[in-house]
Amino acid sequence: MIYFRCCPMDGMAAPIDDPIWQRWYPTNGYRCRCSVISLSENRADKYRKRDADKLRENPDLARQRMTAEPDKG
């Protein structure tokens, strides 16, 4: 089960130096089970393509990502 606040971030791939990690690096609150994995550039490209497809299928997901806040509680 994905924690509801992290749901929009599921499957997202970002470079290690991306500012998104300043805000979203796990753990994100009580009982957070999120994780971050290191990927080769080739594998990261596959994740990014899959994520772009997911965003095209669900335009609200981009808005949810922009407004979601991690629970650092």
Is 2 domain-assigned? no
Q: How many domains does the chain fold into?
A: 1
Is 72 domain-assigned? no
Please tell me the predicted confidence (pLDDT) of residue 3: 54
The pLDDT tens digits for 8-63 are 788 888 888 989 888 888 777 777 778 888 999 999 999 999 989 988 998 888 88
> 47 lies in which domain range?
7-67
CA distances 29 to 6, 51, 62, 67, 68, Å, are: 10, 24, 22, 17, 14
Please tell me the predicted confidence (pLDDT) of residue 72: 66
Residue 5 vs residue 33, higher pLDDT: 33
Is 28 domain-assigned? yes
